[in-house]
Amino acid sequence: MRYSVVIATYNRAESLLSTLQSLSEVRLIAETEVVVVDNNSNDHTKEVVNKATLWFPGKLLYVFEAEQGRSAALNSGIRACRGEIILITDDDVQVDADWICAARRGLAEEKCDYVCGKVLPIWQKGRPRWLPNRGGKHWGVVGLLDYGTEAIKLGAQVPIGVNMAFRRDAFARAGMWDNLVGRRGTSLLGQEVREWGLRARAVGLTGFYIPEMVVHHLISSERLTKRYFRRWFYWHGISRAILFELWGVDMETPEETTLDFSKVPQIMGVPRYMYRSCLHKFTQILSSAMRRDEVATFENELWLWFFAGILAQRSKGRLWRRKVGSNSSKSDVETGS
């Protein structure tokens, strides 16, 4: 097999079926194996995959992974697949017919190790007025991405894990996904793509954003609430604090870290300057509320939830620093076992 698609799934049997139907119409699917990794689902996921093997035009493989976590599931799928090019996506997407071809062209033309692409919305219900319709940091909360119409070398820009493709050798060199910082069960942990990207850059891998590589992500109604956004930003703070403990990077802009945080004054394990930022956000909330600017008020409030997550994690006093690649299983990737 030249191409492999890995899908980690957890209790989304119906949307998984729709995703598989979408994949069945993709060009080159006959030369592709699709590995569905069931991460302890208690619905009829296995039955959906087994029935789909009867009509799916490519090879379709079911794998069960008992360790809870999207990263653990992806690692299991990567070990099980045989493709030279490995694509990863989710169980609630529709992929463009040219998806695999666009990934192949991107890797070849940019001579890079991995690529990502656009993730555009399928709104299950009307978009709330406080959520922008195009790009912006809030798109990441619901798993969307659009960096424009030109190819971009990845640096400060971070991919969305729902739409990425890799040369197989990338995992042998940078290691596998780290389940410590990835989504697990109902938690909203999620810095696994950024953490892998830091390791990838450290060993000399390069990635590109390819605008022609497109998937469409179903945005369920329960994620289009302010309550969900507040919860997401709180867990985002926890995730960034863990990344800080692992790598010593800036918790607000990890890819643009310029400070040596061992020398930065801290209170409860948090850089002192972030407390000043917190006070500034409070004043901005009051100002935007007086102007009746709902969008700005909510954006500033979300930063406070992010800060609360950082405080919660850093107050535990954990330091989990590791060497680059220490959590990888290189032999598994290299042999394709």
115 Cβ contact list (under 8 Å, min separation 6): 103, 106, 107, 164, 165, 207, 208, 209, 210, 213
286 Cβ contact list (under 8 Å, min separation 6): none
Question: What was the pLDDT predicted at 76?
Answer: 98
- Please give the DSSP secondary-structure letter assigned to residue 101: H
40 Cβ contact list (under 8 Å, min separation 6): 10, 65, 66, 68
| Structure token digits, residue 22 | 């979408």
Residue 144, CA distances (Å) to 182, 219, 260, 272 in order: 17, 9, 32, 32
Q: Which domains does the chain have, with CATH numbers?
A: 3-224 (3.90.550.10), 228-314 (no CATH)
Question: What was the pLDDT predicted at 328?
Answer: 39
Cβ–Cβ under 8 Å, residues 247 and 198: yes
295-329 burial, b at 16+ Cβ within 10 Å, e below that, comes to ebbbbbbbbbbbbbbbbebbeeeeeeeeeeeebbe
The Cα 102–Cα 85 span in angstroms is: 12
Question: What was the pLDDT predicted at 307?
Answer: 97
Question: What was the pLDDT predicted at 180?
Answer: 85
Maximum separation of any 2 CA atoms in the chain, in Å: 62
Reading the chain (337 residues) residue by residue, the pLDDT tens digits are 699 999 999 999 999 999 999 999 999 999 999 999 999 999 999 999 999 999 999 999 999 999 999 999 999 999 999 999 999 999 999 999 999 999 999 999 999 999 999 999 999 888 888 887 776 678 889 999 999 999 999 998 899 999 999 999 999 999 999 988 888 767 788 899 999 999 999 999 999 999 999 999 999 999 999 999 999 999 999 999 999 998 999 999 998 888 899 899 999 999 999 999 999 999 999 999 999 888 889 889 999 999 999 999 998 854 444 433 344 343 344 333 3
Question: What was the pLDDT predicted at 317?
Answer: 58
